[in-house]
Amino acid sequence: MSRALALLRASHPEPGGAVTLAMALLALGAGHRGWRLVAVVLAVAFTQLAVGWVNDWLDADRDRWAGRRDKPVAAGAVSARTVGIFGLGAALAIPLPALALGAAPIVLICLVGVFALLYDWPLKSTPLSVVPYLVAFGLLPAFVVVSLPGNPAPPAWLIAAGALLGGGAHFANVLPDLADDAATGVRGLPHRIGARGSQVAAAMLLLGATLTLVFGPPGRPSWAGWAAAAASVVVLPLGVYASKRANGRPVALFRAVMVVALIDVVLLVLSGSSFW
* pLDDT value at residue 193: 94
Taking residues 267-274, what's their average pLDDT? 68
First to last CA, the chain: 47
Predicted confidence at residue 271, as pLDDT, reads 64
Q: How far is CA 148 from CA 17, 44, 129, in A?
A: 22, 15, 31
Determine which of 38-42, 47-51, 195-199, 247-251 has the lowest per-residue pLDDT on average: 247-251
**pLDDT at residue 137, as a whole number:** 96
Which whole number is the average pLDDT over 181-202?
A: 86
Is 3.40.630.20 the CATH classification of the domain at 155-276? no
Looking at residue 124, its pLDDT comes to: 93
Residue 111 CA: distances (Å) to CA of 144, 170, 205: 13, 18, 22
Tell me, what's the pLDDT at 273? 59
CA–CA distance, 174 with 165 (Å, rounded to integer): 14
- Give dist(CA 105, CA 142) in Å, integer: 9
> Residue 220 pLDDT more than 70?
yes
Neighbours of 230 (CB within 10 A): 12
In angstroms, the CA 167 to CA 40 distance is 22
Pick the CATH number of 1-153 from 1.10.10.10, 1.10.12.10, 1.10.357.140, 1.10.8.60: 1.10.357.140
For 10-24, 69-83, 212-226, 260-274, which range has the lowest pLDDT when averaged over its residues? 260-274
Share of the chain above pLDDT 90, in %: 57
In this structure, of 24-28, 100-104, 142-146, 182-186, the range with the lowest mean pLDDT score is 182-186
Q: Which residues contact 142 (CB under 8 A, 6 or more apart)?
A: 108, 154, 158, 159, 162
Give the residue extent of every domain in the chain: 1-153, 155-276
Single pTM value for the model? 0.89
Question: Among residues 67, 91, 66, which one has the least CA distance to residue 11?
Answer: 91
Predicted pLDDT of residue 251 = 67
Amino acid at 225: G
Q: Taking all residues of the chain, what is their mean pLDDT, rounded to a whole number? A: 89
| Sequence-ordered list of residues with C-beta below 8 angstroms from that of 90, at least 6 positions apart, any chain | 46, 49, 50, 53
Residue 260, pLDDT > 90, answer no
Give the span between the Cα atoms of 80 and 72, in whole angstroms: 9
Among the residue ranges 141-145, 163-167, 237-241, the one predicted with the least confidence is 237-241
Give the single-character DSSP code of 186: -
